[in-house]
Amino acid sequence: MRTAETLRPATNRQTSTSVGAGGTGLFTLLWLVFLAALVFDPERLDAVWLWFRELPVIGQVVGWLLFLPLVVGLVIWQAPWALWIRVTLIVLVALLNVIVFSPKPSNE
């Protein structure tokens, strides 16, 4: 017989799975927008970077904390490296970000 205490961890797992799915969906959407801008309007990424850099320091800190993978993508885009290196690194960061945020299957 399962008691209320043995059911509580299952509820927590369900909540973390929902949050993981939401994080995956949000970052997948943001990365698709980022990659679309990269392909169709690269100057837009430059404008976003300039806008981000002009934010007050507290806004930049919050942006780094909330959107770390995307800001890393912008930093890579601004780097003076060859285009193929920048695009490869951005795609790798995007894939790693989506994989890390993907919900893991439960072991039940």
72 in any annotated domain: yes
From the CA atom positions of the chain, what is the Rg in Å? 18
Structural domain of residue 8, as residue ranges? 4-101
The answer to whether residue 22 sits within a structural domain is yes
Q: Is residue 28 part of a domain?
A: yes
State the pLDDT at residue 69: 96
Q: State both tokens at 26.
A: 């949000």
CB-CB contact of 106 with 11 (8 Å): no
In this structure, what are the phi and psi dihedrals at residue 107, rounded to the nearest 5 degrees? -100, 35
- Domain contains 106: no
CB-CB contact of 94 with 71 (8 Å)? no
Give every CB contact of residue 48 below 8 A, 6+ residues apart in sequence: 37, 74
Residue 107 in domain: no
| C-alpha span between 49 and 39 (Å, rounded) | 16
Number of domains in the chain: 1
pLDDT at 32: 96
Following DSSP, what letter does each residue of 38-56 receive, concatenated? HHH-HHHHHHHHHHHHHS-
Q: What is the model's pLDDT at position 101?
A: 84
Residue 64 lies in a domain: yes
Report the pLDDT value the prediction gives residue 50, as an integer from 0 to 100: 97
User: Considering the domain boundaries, does residue 108 fall inside one?
Assistant: no
Residue 34 lies in a domain: yes
CA dist., res. 5 & res. 39, Å (int): 51
Give pLDDT tens digits along the chain (108 positions).
555 555 555 555 554 555 566 778 899 999 999 999 999 999 999 999 999 999 999 999 999 999 999 999 999 999 999 999 999 999 999 999 999 888 877 776
